[in-house]
C-alpha cells in the first residue's frame, strides 16, 4: 500500500497474502499452465457475470483477436470502432487482417457516439467493436440497434469493465453477460482486478466458445485436461491454424482470489468516484465524467477535462511536483503512425479533445480520503498556478 504521506500513484492493484498463497498452490501442484486452475477461474468468472461460456486467454488483445476472427472478420473487411481507446483495440482489428473505421465519442462518457456509428458502416463492414471506456458502459442498446439494422455482430471491448453494470429490461446486469456476440476482458495490473496479465472472453454461443478454446492452444483438437484425465491413450490432431494464447494456472489461481475481492473493490471505487464528483463540482471550467442513467461504472479510471486553454503537460507536472501521479487522457489511435490514413466516420474532434485536455486522477481501492484530498488540493493548486 502507498505511504499516505508519500507519492500517490495513479493506480495500484489489490494484492495480498491470499494471492501469493494461491500462486504457490498452483506452483506446488506441478500443473502450471492451462490446467484445473484455469478451468475453475473460467467457471467462476462465467458465474459472476452470468455468461454461459467463459474462455481464458493470455491478454485482452488476444481475446479481441479471437473474437473478431470467430465472428468472421478477415482480410479486406472493415470494423467500426473508436479511435479514442488504447491502441490494442485497433491492433486486434489489424491482427485479424481487417481495417478499423473510426467513430467519434460522446462528451462526458468518453464512449462511442451511436449517432455517428451509421456513417462507419459500409459494404465491407463485418462487425462493430464498441469499448466500455475506463469502465463506463457504453450505450449498448443503441449500438445493438444499429448492428441489428445491418445484421452485424457486436464485440464488446470490456477490457476495463469487469464489475461494471448496465440496465437491461428494467434490471441491472453485469457487463460480460452476453448481449452482443462476445465480450472481452483484461486482467492487466491497471485494471480493477489483475492476474499480472491475461484476458477472458464471454459468449452465449457454444460454437464461438469452442473456436476460442481450439485457437488459443495451437489448434489442438484435445484439451490438455481431457488428455491427462483419460484412462486411454489419446492422439491429438491440429485441424486448424492456432495460436499460443493460453493463460497459466499460476495466473488463474491469482484471478480466483481477485474475483472474491471484486465486489468490495468496486464498492470502494464507487465511493471514491462519488467523492471526486462532489468535491470537484465547484471547480470552474473543469469537465467531470458523466454516468448515464443506464450505467453503473466500476470507475476503473477517473478522467477530468482541464479548463480550455490550460497546458495539460504543465498541469500534470505541477501535480507530480506535489507528489501526485496522473496520466493524460486516453490516446487517439488515428494520431499514431499505423492508423493515420484509415477511414474515419466524420470528424474526431471530441476524441482529440479528450486526449488533449483529459487528465486521469489517482483512483484505487486502498486510497484513503486523506490521499484523495491531497489529489484534489494538488489539482486545484495546479489549475490556479
Average pLDDT, the chain: 96
pLDDT tens track for 133-182: 999 999 999 999 999 999 999 999 999 999 999 999 889 999 999 899 99
pTM for this prediction:
0.96
Please give the Cα distance from 180 to 153 (Å, whole number): 7
Asked if 306 and 286 count as a contact pair (C-beta separation under 8 A), the reply is yes
Instruction: Tell me the H-state helices in 131-179.
Output: 140-149
pLDDT recorded at residue 222: 84
Q: What is the average per-residue pLDDT within 114-141? A: 97
Domains, the chain, ordered by start: 17-384 (3.40.640.10)
Q: Is the predicted pLDDT of residue 309 greater than 80, yes or no?
A: yes
pLDDT recorded at residue 71: 98
pLDDT tens track for 170-217: 899 999 998 999 999 999 999 999 999 999 999 999 999 999 999 999
The three state secondary structure string of 293-349 is: CCEECCCCCEEEECCCCCCHHHHHHHHHHCCECCEECCCEHHHCHHHCCCCECCCCH
The catalytic residue positions are 191
Please give the Cα distance from 209 to 378 (Å, whole number): 47
pLDDT tens track for 322-368: 999 999 999 999 999 999 999 999 999 999 999 999 999 999 999 99
pLDDT tens track for 225-235: 777 788 889 88
Q: Is the predicted pLDDT of residue 1 greater than 50, yes or no?
A: no
Among residues 139, 211, 148, 151, the alpha carbon closest in space to that of 175 is found at: 139
pLDDT tens track for 363-383: 999 999 999 999 999 999 999
pLDDT tens track for 24-70: 999 999 999 999 999 999 999 999 999 999 999 999 999 999 999 99
In the numeric block, which cell numbers belong to residue 229? Answer: 484425465
3-class SS of residue 91: helix
Please give the Cα distance from 248 to 62 (Å, whole number): 14
* Banded model confidence at residue 285, pLDDT cuts 50, 70, 90: very high
How many CB atoms are closer than 10 A to CB 118? Answer: 13
* Banded model confidence at residue 12, pLDDT cuts 50, 70, 90: very high
Q: Tell me the residue length of the chain.
A: 385
pLDDT recorded at residue 227: 75
Q: What is the DSSP letter of 362?
A: P
* Banded model confidence at residue 2, pLDDT cuts 50, 70, 90: very low
- In the chain, the percentage of residues whose pLDDT exceeds 90 is 93
Amino acid at each position: 500500500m502507498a505511504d499516505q504521506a508519500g507519492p500517490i500513484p495513479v493506480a495500484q492493484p489489490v494484492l495480498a497474502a491470499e494471492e501469493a498463497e494461491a500462486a504457490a498452490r498452483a506452483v506446488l501442484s506441478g500443473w502450471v499452465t492451462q490446467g484445473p486452475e484455469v478451468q475453475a477461474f473460467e467457471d467462476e468468472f462465467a458465474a459472476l457475470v452470468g455468461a454461459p461460456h467463459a474462455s481464458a486467454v493470455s491478454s485482452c488483445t488476444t481475446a479481441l483477436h479471437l473474437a473478431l476472427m470467430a465472428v468472421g472478420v478477415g482480410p479486406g473487411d472493415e470494423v467500426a470502432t473508436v479511435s479514442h481507446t488504447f491502441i490494442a483495440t485497433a491492433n486486434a482489428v489489424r491482427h485479424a487482417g481487417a481495417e478499423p473505421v473510426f467513430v467519434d465519442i460522446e462528451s462526458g462518457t468518453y464512449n462511442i457516439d451511436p449517432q455517428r456509428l451509421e456513417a462507419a458502416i459500409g459494404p465491407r463492414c463485418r462487425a462493430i467493436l464498441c469499448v466500455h471506456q475506463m469502465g463506463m458502459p457504453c450505450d449498448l442498446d443503441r449500438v445493438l440497434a444499429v448492428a441489428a439494422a445491418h445484421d452485424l455482430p457486436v464485440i464488446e471491448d470490456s477490457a476495463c469493465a469487469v464489475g461494471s453494470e448496465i440496465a437491461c429490461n428494467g434490471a441491472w446486469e453485469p457487463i460480460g453477460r452476453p448481449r452482443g456476440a462476445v465480450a472481452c476482458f483484461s486482467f492487466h495490473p491497471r485494471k480493477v482486478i489483475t492476474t499480472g496479465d491475461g484476458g477472458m472472453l464471454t459468449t452465449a454461443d457454444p460454437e464461438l466458445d469452442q473456436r476460442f478454446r481450439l485457437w488459443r492452444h495451437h489448434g489442438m483438437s484435445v484439451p490438455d485436461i481431457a488428455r491427462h484425465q483419460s484412462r486411454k491413450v489419446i492422439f491429438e490432431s491440429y485441424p486448424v491454424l492456432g495460436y499460443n494464447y493460453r493463460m497459466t494456472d499460476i495466473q488463474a489461481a491469482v484471478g480466483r482470489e481477485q474475483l472474491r475481492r471484486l465486489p468490495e473493490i468496486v464498492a470502494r471505487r464507487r465511493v471514491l468516484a462519488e467523492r471526486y464528483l462532489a468535491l470537484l463540482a465547484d471547480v470552474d471550467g473543469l469537465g467531470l465524467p458523466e454516468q448515464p442513467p443506464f450505467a453503473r461504472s466500476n470507475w476503473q479510471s477517473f478522467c477530468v477535462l482541464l479548463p480550455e486553454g490550460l497546458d495539460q503537460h504543465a498541469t500534470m507536472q505541477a501535480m507530480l511536483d506535489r507528489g501526485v501521479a496522473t496520466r493524460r487522457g486516453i490516446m487517439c489511435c488515428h494520431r499514431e503512425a499505423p492508423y493515420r490514413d484509415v477511414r474515419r466516420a466524420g470528424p474526431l474532434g471530441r476524441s482529440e479533445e479528450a486526449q488533449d485536455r483529459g487528465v486521469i486522477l489517482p483512483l484505487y481501492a486502498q486510497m484513503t480520503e486523506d490521499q484523495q484530498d491531497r489529489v484534489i488540493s494538488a489539482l486545484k493548486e495546479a489549475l490556479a498556478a
